[in-house]
Amino acid sequence: MPPNEPSAPGRVLCVSLHDVAPATWPQCQRLLAALRAVGPIPLTLLVVPAYHRLPVADAAAFDRALEARLAAGDELALHGFTHLDEGPPPRGWRQRFVRRAYTTGEGEFAAIGADEATRRITQGIDWFAQRQWPLAGFVAPAWLLGPGAWQALARFPMRYTTTLRHFHLLPEGQSLLAPSLVYAARNRSGRWLSVRRNDALARLQADRPLVRLGLHPADAAHPELIRHCQQLAEKLLTTREALTKVDFALRLKERRPGATRQ
């Protein structure tokens, strides 16, 4: 294991459900049912408090649904605040591709400054606090954390964050290589390729301490993706223990209680 990585206990699978919000809850429920058919897997639900700034018809019902997930042993993590990229216009082809094509304008923390990122994270923390829900993790929409967002995140007592390729302990700053298995549901070729990418990544990470499987509401519309994620989870669970992200972070900290920023 590279020297900048914390040692990890055993082999773990972390399954997360992204973009959890009232507008996406019907799709989320289909994915939760599919995972429930595999077994009692503890999940990390990435919740967006003001998803796309859409009006909410029945906020109380959504809150009750999330409280039931907490009671069942799942974790709720903060997944941005609006899930919309409202930063300055992208500059250069790379920024345009990442912020407009790859994320379709949803990389909320890709380009905003530290003060604005701090304001949005604070709003999210307050939203959790109003509901008296525990909060230990922050995951930026599309896993995009710009320099300002990293500066802002250091101001809060979060235990972890994740990017597409790494699991980051906070505030230690240590990172564990764990590329996320994720589906590209927008078109047929993306679905075909992502299934094969996930199979290959799972094989490549067979000896790694952590494998991450991330699902999005759009996946629920495609039975082939649901079947594949079920088969993949079943296979991974033959050699791995399923944990929420916060529980995995706590185990890492137990192994390296004196860890320092790398």
Return the CATH number at 66. 3.20.20.370
186 beta partners: none
Residue 210 scores a pLDDT above 70: yes
Cβ(165)–Cβ(178) below 8 Å: yes
Helix orientation angle between 25-38 and 59-71, rounded to the nearest 10 degrees: 20
Query: What is the predicted pLDDT for the residue at 259?
Result: 40
- Does the residue 7 lie in any domain? no
Please give the C-alpha separations between residue 237 and each of 42, 55, 102, 246, in angstroms, as whole numbers. 12, 39, 30, 19
**208 pLDDT tier (thresholds 50, 70, 90):** very high
pLDDT digits (tens, 9 = 90+) for 50-65: 999 999 989 999 999 9
Residue 260 scores a pLDDT above 90: no
Q: The domain containing residue 159 runs over which residues? A: 12-255
- Does the residue 188 lie in any domain? yes
**99 pLDDT tier (thresholds 50, 70, 90):** low
- Does the residue 117 lie in any domain? yes
- Does the residue 5 lie in any domain? no
- Does the residue 260 lie in any domain? no
The whole-angstrom separation of Cα 70 and Cα 29 is: 15
Considering the entire predicted model, what is its pTM?
A: 0.91
- Does the residue 4 lie in any domain? no
Q: What value does the mean pLDDT of the chain take?
A: 90
Q: Total structural domains in the chain?
A: 1
The whole-angstrom separation of Cα 109 and Cα 185 is: 22
- Does the residue 194 lie in any domain? yes
Q: Which of 43-47, 107-111, 236-240 has the lowest mean pLDDT?
A: 107-111
76 beta partners: 45
Give yes or no for a cis peptide into 209 (omega within 30° of 0). Answer: no
Residue 230 scores a pLDDT above 90: yes
pLDDT digits (tens, 9 = 90+) for 136-155: 999 999 999 999 999 999 99
Cβ(79)–Cβ(46) below 8 Å: yes
Please give the C-alpha separations between residue 85 and each of 38, 53, 165, in angstroms, as whole numbers. 35, 12, 21
- Does the residue 262 lie in any domain? no
